[in-house]
Amino acid sequence: MGLDKILSVSGRPGLYKVQAQTRSGFLAESLLDGKRISVGIQHNVSILSEIAIYTLTQELPLREVFKKIKDKEDGKTTSIGHKEGKDKLEEYFFEVLPDYDEDRVYPSDIKKIIQWYNLLQKNELLDLEESSSEEEE
């Protein structure tokens, strides 16, 4: 499953996997506890495949950032937790992505990325290959 089926719902912890579409939104299952929620159009939702990280030269898709973390950690969970201090988080992220834009990527963003990576890794959803439709183009 690609990142196009994984969501972040504003005001709710963790990530959600799309289960089914409804007339007023869709059903999603939490990757934290497996509970299903109904997500309506009034919720602020971000699809992970649409998120990019600012670097000094371009915007790097989150998929690419996750690949870099996966390579650094040999497919395991990160060596630091998302609750580490600001300096440790920035130092770790600098090792992963040396040219990230420090003015536009905040420590709270780095926390989310590390937390999301570990959550996806735990649920074995880090299949970061491009989808087959993108490969055909």
Per-residue tokens: 137: 């183009």
Question: In the chain, where are the structural domains located?
Answer: 3-48, 52-122
For the chain, list residues with pLDDT below 50.
131-137
Q: Where are the alpha helices (DSSP H) in 12-137?
A: 62-72, 86-96, 107-122, 132-136
Q: Which pLDDT score is estimated for 41?
A: 85
Q: Which pLDDT score is estimated for 137?
A: 37
What CATH class does 52-122 carry?
mainly alpha
Please tell me the CATH code under which domain 3-48 is placed: 2.30.30
Q: Do residues 111 and 81 lie in contact, with contact meaning Cβ atoms separated by under 8 Å?
A: no
Give residue for tokens 């990757």. 31
